[in-house]
Chains A and B, each alone.
Chain A
């Protein structure tokens, strides 16, 4: 039965396959055999096409059902159904309710990794993907290592802390090639100082410094998912683009994946800010031979040349402590892990007092006793 979603099954034992970052191959959970991505892609291309067609048919049928249900007053209201889609697991037949943007997930009943090929058709198909290189255990280890050396981390946070959820996610990104042309004006000064009697004389020469230039950028990343916090996605940069691959759904089994829900146009503001700031820094670096340089005016024009829809590997880890959620993100390729930690106020004030009080004793002692 075509259900709109598909699973990659082991050609040898029909067990579910998942993509293993370490080997870069699809591995069977049951018989342990592994397969090249291209091999599985070829094998399941027909199955994916059937799944896409089934999804279209299923969407049409669901619309008819909704219309009928609405007539009978039994339909989900628009707010409830907005942004949701349902699929049937090809392994166990259970109905899965997912976000409208979900492109890869696991069945909550049988646990088999599933793909929604319909999310990757036509203009929705990513051009590139960086496959996962690090596994779940690496993410757990990185999080424990991240806790080390944090002076203000509450002791109980480590002791009572259990990772609530850890999920490998292919996050949709736009990679933007662009060029920035701009002009910057600085006010620069050089001073010389000498003594005349009891006075120190300072003469300052003032200059107007103009710089114009052009600078190109390749593949500035900006995450295209509203679900992912921008600060977390920015902070785990950079990725090694040498490992970019042509997109294939065969990289997805075993991980979550979303299709983008932030358009190219909506992403441009962040790209512009970053590119223009970098252009200003580069132009500033050409202003030499002055003691002080202050920015007076800047004007830039950004020309976008290319934007590629790409999936990037991210491990998302969430923990709960004292009723608060803490979210961490790890670059699934490089292992860079970031996230905000709670601050133990007691430790903070102990450190504060430990530094301030002895210093006060020394300075006040010196001032009043010596």
Chain B
């Protein structure tokens, strides 16, 4: 299967190299840290983008790659040739030595049009910037556009996300579980809970200041015979049933990296 895909990709690369000498040199030349090949940023083999769009997205991806030393790729394929999306992504990474630097730092968004599969792959430093939760949220952002066949809109969302995540990672706070907590909710919790606790504690202290209270019961005066039960009946009446959807457990954060050194978020669009 891998041979098939390799053959397919090689054919595409050959065709591309004929049409675009720059891409060909990028694909065949070893990766050079000092010179990030511009035309490898967006590989639109499924032909979803116009030339202008491809140019614009490539420029943006290339700028991000230069800025953060982590390559940002977009790859579209007509078919996965029987592979899973994540397998195809790893195959391309390995085959074409994608990524920046020795650790091949990168983020790759791969779309396959045959069964509308996608895979986001992170490698090297990308595993730090693109956590599992980050990739999941990134997918949520572009899936609507891809679902509407708005390819350019979806890829723009992807690049926006990449820029946001890479910037956060550079600041030492990679986007992860809790990073997108609502500030309004935070303010509400951060203010209301302390106010509630303070009110509760102060109410206990205040209650100590007011001890003149009417008695509501007379437990202390029950005679020695106590309660004499004269009748008791427990009668079953009916049964009710209710169902509640169980929310999946929240991710505790971090990035799950496979043996190949990559991490993925896959699905359909």
Indicate, yes or no, whether A interacts with B: yes
Answer whether residue B215 sits at the interface, using C-beta atoms and an 8 A cutoff.
yes
Contact with B along A323-364 (1 / 0, CB 8 A): 000000100000000111111000010011101110110011
Contact status B209-A153, CB under 8 Å: yes
Contact status A150-B236, CB under 8 Å: no
Task: Tell me the smallest distance from the CB of A144 to a CB of chain B, in Å.
Answer: 16
Contact status A364-B190, CB under 8 Å: yes
Contact status B213-A277, CB under 8 Å: no
Contact status A205-B239, CB under 8 Å: yes
Contact status B197-A356, CB under 8 Å: yes
Q: Which residues of B contact A357 (CB under 8 A)?
A: 194
Contact status B218-A275, CB under 8 Å: yes
Answer whether residue A83 sits at the interface, using C-beta atoms and an 8 A cutoff.
no
Please, how many angstroms separate the alpha-carbon atoms of A216 and B224 in the complex?
8
Contact with A along B9-31 (1 / 0, CB 8 A): 00000000000000000000000
Task: Tell me the smallest distance from the CB of A182 to a CB of chain B, in Å.
Answer: 10
Answer whether residue B252 sits at the interface, using C-beta atoms and an 8 A cutoff.
no
Given contacts A231-B214, A237-B215, A338-B211, contact A205 B236 (CB under 8 A): yes
Which 4 residue pairs are nearest across A and B when measured between Cβ atoms?
Answer: A359-B194, A212-B231, A367-B186, A364-B190
Given contacts A217-B218, A238-B220, A352-B198, contact A232 B212 (CB under 8 A): yes
For the residues of B in contact with A, the DSSP-based class is mixed
Q: Which residues of B contact A198 (CB under 8 A)?
A: 245-246
Q: Which residues of A contact B3 (CB under 8 A)?
A: none
Segment among B56-64, B81-89, B91-99, B200-208 that sits at the interface with chain A: B200-208
Contact status B230-A216, CB under 8 Å: no
Contact status B219-A364, CB under 8 Å: no
Answer whether residue A370 sits at the interface, using C-beta atoms and an 8 A cutoff.
yes
Segment among A99-107, A281-289, A307-315 that sits at the interface with chain B: A281-289
Please, how many angstroms separate the alpha-carbon atoms of A12 and B245 in the complex?
91
Contact with A along B222-245 (1 / 0, CB 8 A): 110111111111111111111111
Contact status B227-A356, CB under 8 Å: no
For the residues of A in contact with B, the DSSP-based class is mixed
**In this complex, what residue of B is CB-closest to A239?**
B220
Q: Which residues of B contact A351 (CB under 8 A)?
A: 198, 201-202, 205
Answer whether residue A273 sits at the interface, using C-beta atoms and an 8 A cutoff.
yes
Answer whether residue A207 sits at the interface, using C-beta atoms and an 8 A cutoff.
yes
Contact status A338-B209, CB under 8 Å: no
Q: Which residues of A contact B225 (CB under 8 A)?
A: 216
Answer whether residue A57 sits at the interface, using C-beta atoms and an 8 A cutoff.
no
Contact status B246-A229, CB under 8 Å: no
Contact status A230-B228, CB under 8 Å: no
Contact status A360-B194, CB under 8 Å: yes
Q: Which residues of A contact B234 (CB under 8 A)?
A: 188, 207-210
Contact status B239-A213, CB under 8 Å: no
Contact status A274-B216, CB under 8 Å: yes
Please, how many angstroms separate the alpha-carbon atoms of A341 and B218 in the complex?
26
Q: Which residues of A contact B233 (CB under 8 A)?
A: 208-210
Task: Tell me the smallest distance from the CB of A348 to a CB of chain B, in Å.
Answer: 6
Contact status A231-B218, CB under 8 Å: no
Contact status A274-B218, CB under 8 Å: yes
B residues near A (Cβ < 8 Å) are 178, 181, 183, 186-187, 189-191, 193-195, 197-199, 201-202, 205-206, 208-223, 225-246
Please, how many angstroms separate the alpha-carbon atoms of A229 and B72 in the complex?
81
Answer whether residue A152 sits at the interface, using C-beta atoms and an 8 A cutoff.
yes
Q: Which residues of B contact A271 (CB under 8 A)?
A: 218
Answer whether residue A204 sits at the interface, using C-beta atoms and an 8 A cutoff.
yes
Please, how many angstroms separate the alpha-carbon atoms of A211 and B229 in the complex?
7
Please, how many angstroms separate the alpha-carbon atoms of A271 and B67 in the complex?
83
Please, how many angstroms separate the alpha-carbon atoms of A213 and B240 in the complex?
31
Please, how many angstroms separate the alpha-carbon atoms of A189 and B213 in the complex?
34
Given contacts A204-B239, A206-B236, A217-B222, contact A355 B217 (CB under 8 A): no
Per a CB cutoff under 8 Å, which of B195, B205, B239 touches A356?
Answer: B195
Answer whether residue A220 sits at the interface, using C-beta atoms and an 8 A cutoff.
yes
**In this complex, what residue of B is CB-closest to A188?**
B234
Q: Which residues of A contact B230 (CB under 8 A)?
A: 181, 212-214
Contact status B187-A364, CB under 8 Å: yes
- 18 A-B pairs within 8 Å (CB atoms) are namely A205-B238, A206-B236, A206-B238, A207-B234, A207-B236, A208-B234, A211-B229, A212-B229, A215-B222, A217-B222, A220-B218, A235-B214, A235-B215, A273-B216, A329-B212, A340-B209, A357-B194, A367-B186
Contact status B202-A355, CB under 8 Å: yes
Please, how many angstroms separate the alpha-carbon atoms of A232 and B230 in the complex?
37
Please, how many angstroms separate the alpha-carbon atoms of A355 and B241 in the complex?
43
Answer whether residue A183 sits at the interface, using C-beta atoms and an 8 A cutoff.
yes
Contact status A151-B205, CB under 8 Å: yes
Answer whether residue A266 sits at the interface, using C-beta atoms and an 8 A cutoff.
no
A152-B202, A271-B218, A352-B202 known; 15 new pairs, CB 8 Å cut-off, are A151-B208, A201-B243, A209-B233, A211-B229, A214-B227, A215-B227, A231-B212, A234-B215, A235-B214, A340-B210, A342-B209, A355-B198, A360-B190, A363-B190, A370-B178
Answer whether residue A202 sits at the interface, using C-beta atoms and an 8 A cutoff.
yes
Please, how many angstroms separate the alpha-carbon atoms of A183 and B246 in the complex?
42
Contact status A217-B221, CB under 8 Å: yes
Q: Which residues of A contact B232 (CB under 8 A)?
A: 210-212, 286
